[in-house]
Amino acid sequence: MSFLRTSVVNGVGEIVLDRPAALNALDQTMIDDMHRTLEDWADDDSIESVLVTSASDRAFCAGGDIRAIREHAVAGDRRAVGHYFMSEYRLDQLVANYPKAYISVIDGAAMGGGLGISVHGEVRIVTERALIAMPETAIGFFPDIGSTYFLPRLPDGVGMWLGLTGSRIRGADAVEVGMATHFVASEYIESVTEQLRSGTPLVEVLGDFRDRPGTGLPLRKIGEYFADTNVSAIVGGLRGAVGDDWAAAAVDQIEKASPTSLWVTAAMLEAGARSVLDDCFDRELHAAEEITATHDFAEGVRAVLVDKDRNPAFDPSSIDDVDPEVVARIVGVATA
């Protein structure tokens, strides 16, 4: 069974993500089918642009098929784990280097792997229903799918804030920080998508959508509190902000995450800030293969996605007890 629907009309190749029961989480077949389709269309002169949409009214794509990855990891099948991530990152690289206009329409949740098949593309249209996040530290993982390249290139501190806390932002916020390119109110998104399907030039379709709602992102605070790459320093600064409810909430989010994942994430973003995209993917593949073999990954996915008790027992349980050598091994670079 295929979880993708494809069509080519009026010079537009459309890929519809159609796994609604799993919020379009990308399993191995979806990754393979999408990669094969995009490769075929890249060489097809009759296709001028690619449109990626969702059949779900709740999600664009909620991420990778993490439960299946955990099953492979727990069974000790590192080959299957490595193959999944290699395939996923190869797809994301194809999107990033795609020779034709690549347009994503995000009217719902887009997290983790869902951003890998959208943020790297040329055009990312969002609505107020879009919910954007990289929530990996809560499951003992780290932000991947090339995010170690694009997160450090967001406004000051924003990438580190999103990566460490797993905070969710809405469509207008995503445009504000550069993760999306266009905002369209959900009441118009069906009409806009239909016009794109018809082959109407992008500039004509989106020409009337120049304004967007104001955002509530406290960019000054984010830049102040998350400018560091040292997790202890970031948490210390947040805890020292007496009377700042936003800072207190950020500490609460961080304290729910895997301490090891927090340090890995900070190190990956620091390395990604001075790397090209391909190097980021290479580093992420190494880190993904290493971190999925740890206790925290199996335990984090269990608590959030399997048993859903939201009570993971991470080890170590404190950011102060994380071994820098473990972080260095996972990341594959010096962390001093």
Q: Where in the sequence numbering do the catalytic residues fall?
A: 64, 113, 136, 144
Please answer whether residues 275 and 147 qualify as being in contact, where contact means their C-beta atoms are separated by less than 8 angstroms: no
Q: How does DSSP assign 24-81, residue by residue? A: T-B-HHHHHHHHHHHHHHHT-TT--EEEEEES-SSEEE--B-HHHHHHHHHTT-HHHH
In DSSP terms, which residues pair with 130 in a beta bridge?
Answer: none
d(CA 89, CA 51): 20
Rounded to 5 degrees, what are φ and ψ at 131?
-130, 110
Please answer whether residues 305 and 313 qualify as being in contact, where contact means their C-beta atoms are separated by less than 8 angstroms: no
Q: Which residue has the tokens 């709740």?
A: 58
Residues whose CB is less than 8 angstroms from the CB of residue 109 and which lie 6 or more positions away in sequence, other chains included:
23, 58, 59, 60, 61, 62, 130, 131, 133
Q: Widest CA span of the chain, in angstroms?
A: 61
d(CA 57, CA 108): 7
Helix (H) or strand (E) holding 132: strand 131-133
